[in-house]
Structure 1
Amino acid sequence: MSARTSADPAVEPGHAAFLTAYDEALARWPVPAEALTVRTPHGATRVNACGPRDGRPLVLLHGGGSTSTCWTAVVAALTGTGHRVLAVDLIGDPGRSVLGGSPLGGVPGLLSWLDAVLDGLDVAAADVVGHSYGAWIALRYALHAPGRVGRLALLDPTQCFAGFRPGYLLRALPLLAPPRTAARARSYLDWESGGTALDPAWRELYALGYAGFPAARPVTGPRPTADQLRGLTAPVLALFAERSRTHDAAAVAERARRTLRSTTVAVLPGTSHHTLLTARPDELNRRLTAFLATGP
């Protein structure tokens, strides 16, 4: 695969604190990352790549506002499976991707953007791991381009098998409206995580991105239908956070288990939606690596 080594995209001075925190978070990765920029019709996409260059591609799609640096606790284990890990900054989201050119418009545009990212990386097919909103994108992409997705891991996926809890929406939807302050973001994360090992450095990066990055509404769409889910060909690992405030983890896990024909489903105890990647990394890594090591 090939892509051009990244130079910093042009940024506004107000983003400096966020970008500094982003670089510091990436520097804490336990394996060295190569910064790549992939040009697409919708703008420049940042991809943090690591692992053997000739390894099977593994695309990581983060949750909204999380940035691709959120994979600190799992990236070493994932490269240990022999994969070439490609951690993508979602276009239009806080991170080092720069939205520009043709607007995404909607779900078709979002999926065509990911097509262009894989094309730019010379990746014909990949395993895909997504968390939260990134899991929704990963699932929609597997339905859109089944020949390009080998194995699919969904980590506390939202809007995939069920909607949000009303109580969660009451707390989360105001984040889309001004004022966008770091304190507001920290309060939201502290409420959702409920004291379940929220990484303090990542918490601050999320808050700075929320406050300092240009606001853009995420591209969203309907949940896949039951018939679409039953037609999914990729093997799926679906892991849910026991204490997630976004949904009833046990109920949604059971729905995923009943709907998907080739799936492994589990609920990880002691984790919330935003701490699933950090609260129990050994358990998460064990399940991910076992699933991904079994091949396409």
Structure 2
Amino acid sequence: MSSSQDFFAAYDALLARWPTGTAELDVPTPYGTTRVHAYGPADATPVLLLHGGGSTGAVWFANAPVLGTHHRLLAVDILGDAGRSVPGGRPLRTTADLMGWLDALLDGLSVSRTHLLGHSYGGWLALTYTLHAARRVDRLVLLDPTQCFAGFRPGFLLRSLPILLHPTKARARAYLDRETAGTDTDVGWKRLYALAVSDFAHRRLVVGRRPDPAALSVPLLVLLAGRSNAHDAEKVAARARKAVPDARIEIHAGLTHFAMPTAVPPRTNHRIADFLADEPEE
């Protein structure tokens, strides 16, 4: 089996763990065709899910059963990253291009307003898009978002360099094992991530400037990994509270950055669902 076949086998294995009734959609945009995994009542309020770099939209399999009970989940393979989305037409080069792509994606899905949920890079993308098109976003959930309230720890960047400069499956898996030690991070997802790093070395995520969260006008929930090596969770929480005083911010002491979202406790999925439904928490 070739390396790309290995990747798509791992991808399909995660997708098979999504609930029965999940649909696969290919949505054309001026920037290429975007793969979306759709689950939940077709007439329910949509939730657009934006994964972290290399994770693919299949990563939300463990969250879908709860979040998709009363919402229509739309889990995206971010264009330009590993997955089944296919770039074509206009190139994605700038933050403005990313915003245009998401505008076109929502149009193609016939979604005028949505909730947004993003992890890591997907959190940066979700926050940036909300500031770009607040009229289209009802609520925003960020899971250990990067480059939103604080920068990366220098040590995290140094440890990441080997898989950025010389990506191999073994190197990526060893890196991920260190970064998720002591958590219940899903083994199948770790295999997919390692293959994404090694098989899609050409992937180039568009990275823009840090957004200004103080301009946010929609309800915000931020869930941080207390053991995140990407940044200092306490510092991120403090900056988030200062920028968005009404935000709900929680730190999960036992989680690391890459443990999200597959190791998120069941209670946390219910808390996210309650926040998106604007229901009081227990």
Q: Of 87, 94, 105, which residue of structure 2 is paired with 1:117?
A: 105
Residue identity opposite 1:142 in structure 2: T
Q: Kindly report structure 1 stretches of 4+ aligned residues shifted beyond 3 Å.
A: none
Preserved contact between residue 133 and residue 158 of structure 1 (Cα < 8 Å):
yes
Secondary structure in structure 2 of the residue aligned to 1:274? helix
Distance in 2 of aligned mates of 1:147 and 1:203: 36
Would you say 1:91 and 2:79 are equivalent positions? yes
Would you say 1:199 and 2:186 are equivalent positions? yes
Residue identity opposite 1:245 in structure 2: N
Gaps of 5+ in 2: none
Preserved contact between residue 270 and residue 279 of structure 1 (Cα < 8 Å):
no
Residue identity opposite 1:173 in structure 2: L
Residue identity opposite 1:212 in structure 2: D
Q: Of 267, 271, 274, which residue of structure 2 is paired with 1:283?
A: 267
Gaps of 5+ in 1: 1-12
Distance in 2 of aligned mates of 1:83 and 1:31: 15
Structure 1, residues 202-230: CA drift from partner, whole Å, max 9, x if none? 100111111112512210011113xxx22
Q: Of 112, 133, 143, which residue of structure 1 is paired with 2:131?
A: 143
Q: In the TM superposition, what are the counterparts of 1:125-164 in structure 2 within 5 Å? A: 125-164=113-152
Preserved contact between residue 82 and residue 203 of structure 2 (Cα < 8 Å):
no
Residue identity opposite 1:49 in structure 2: A
2:236 aligned residue: 252
1:21 aligned residue: 10
Would you say 1:49 and 2:38 are equivalent positions? yes
* Superposition RMSD in Å: 1.3
Structure 1, residues 61-103: CA drift from partner, whole Å, max 9, x if none? 00000011111211111112x1110000000101111112111
Secondary structure in structure 2 of the residue aligned to 1:161? coil
Q: CA deviation at 1:269?
A: 1.9
Distance in 1 of aligned mates of 2:189 and 2:177: 12
Distance in 1 of aligned mates of 2:267 and 2:234: 18
1:37 aligned residue: 26
TM-score, L = length of structure 2 = 0.95
2:251 aligned residue: 267
Identity of aligned residues (%): 51
Preserved contact between residue 31 and residue 76 of structure 1 (Cα < 8 Å):
no
Distance in 2 of aligned mates of 1:259 and 1:207: 35
Preserved contact between residue 49 and residue 86 of structure 1 (Cα < 8 Å):
yes
Preserved contact between residue 277 and residue 284 of structure 1 (Cα < 8 Å):
no
Q: CA deviation at 1:111?
A: 1.0
Secondary structure in structure 1 of the residue aligned to 2:259? coil
Q: Of 182, 186, 199, which residue of structure 2 is paired with 1:212?
A: 199
TM-score, L = length of structure 1 = 0.91
Change (3 A) 1:86 1:280: closer
Residue identity opposite 2:190 in structure 1: R
Distance in 2 of aligned mates of 1:177 and 1:214: 9
2:169 aligned residue: 182
